């Protein structure tokens, strides 16, 4: 089965996970964001913000997890899989902080390709910080620009998801995916 791989991306606090939750409620197959899981595992080991203290280690763990998700998608018995972020997001964040990364990160973006990328712009009225989200709104805007540039560098055409209710944003995505 040739499973369609669809990314839902955007900076922090843009509503990605909320849309993923809505897709799950509607019976779609989704692979959830793993950065919170990596962050929580690091906290158990006494590292408060692994991305801030050891960004390459954090990013390597993310890359491994996202590559596993990518491979898992092909094993699932479904036409379409939605991802809460994709492999190129890792490079965008590393570029945002200005840290170098190994060529394996670039190679992973080249070999693990997705069928569509939906991007959510920062939306100040829904933006909140929490224990795992350390960025302020201005940084969210900057990260958005890095995400756009990174995905464009890998020849993706980004589909902007308009500001609206969760249901309408989800409908917008599904109308395009199911064309």
Give the pLDDT confidence of 145-161 residue by residue, as tens digits: 999 999 999 999 999 99
pLDDT > 60? residue 132: no
pLDDT at 131: 54
For the cut 70, the answer to whether the pLDDT of residue 130 exceeds it is no
What share of the chain in percent tops pLDDT 90?
70
- Yes or no: say if 89 and 144 are a contact pair by the CB < 8 Å rule: no
- CA diameter of the chain: 47
- With beta carbons less than 8 A apart as the criterion, state whether 114 and 37 touch: no
Is pLDDT of 50 > 80?
Answer: no
Which of residues 4 and 124 earns the better pLDDT score?
Answer: 4
How many other CB atoms are there within 10 angstroms of residue 39's CB atom? 20
What is the tens place of the pLDDT at every residue in 27-47? Answer: 999 998 888 788 888 888 887
Q: Is 16 exposed, middle or buried (0-12, 13-18, 19+ CB in 10 A)?
A: buried
With 70 as the cut, is the pLDDT of residue 55 above it?
Answer: yes
What pLDDT score does 136 carry? 82
Sheet strand arrangement including 29-31: 29-31, 80-84, 4-10, 116-120, 158-161
- Taking 90 as the threshold, does the pLDDT of residue 72 lie above it? yes
Q: How confident is the model at residue 134 (pLDDT cuts 50, 70, 90)?
A: low
Mean pLDDT of the chain: 91
**What's the pLDDT score for residue 162?**
97
* Integer-rounded Cα radius of gyration of the chain: 16
Q: Distance from CA of residue 94 to its chain's centroid?
A: 14
CATH number of the structural domain spanning residue 154: 3.40.50.300
* Lowest-confidence region among 3-7, 81-85, 99-103, 124-128: 124-128
Give the range of the structural domain holding residue 167, as residue numbers without chain letter.
Answer: 4-177
DSSP annotation string for 14-54 = SSHHHHHHHHHHTT-EEE---HHHHHHHHHHTT-S-HHHH-
- Distance, in Å, from the CA atom of 103 to the CA atom of 123, rounded to the nearest integer, reads 33
- Give pTM, 2 decimals: 0.92
Count: domains in the chain: 1
């Amino acid at each position: 089965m040739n499973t369609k791989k669809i990314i839902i991306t955007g900076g922090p606090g843009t509503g990605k996970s909320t849309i993923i939750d809505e897709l799950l409620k509607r019976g779609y197959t989704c692979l959830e964001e793993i950065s919170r899981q990596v962050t929580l595992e690091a906290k158990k080991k006494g590292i408060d913000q692994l991305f801030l203290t050891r960004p390459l280690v954090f990013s390597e763990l993310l890359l491994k997890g996202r590559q596993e998700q990518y491979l898992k998608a092909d094993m699932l018995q479904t036409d379409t899989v939605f991802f809460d972020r994709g492999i190129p997001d890792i490079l965008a964040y590393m570029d945002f902080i200005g840290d170098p990364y190994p060529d394996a990160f670039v190679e992973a973006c080249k070999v693990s390709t997705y069928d569509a990328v939906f991007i959510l712009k920062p939306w100040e009225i829904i933006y909140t910080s929490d224990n795992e989200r350390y960025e302020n709104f201005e940084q969210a805007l900057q990260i958005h620009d890095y995400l756009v540039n990174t995905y464009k560098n890998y020849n993706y055409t980004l589909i902007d998801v308009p500001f609206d209710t969760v249901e309408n944003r989800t409908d917008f995505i599904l109308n395009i995916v199911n064309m």
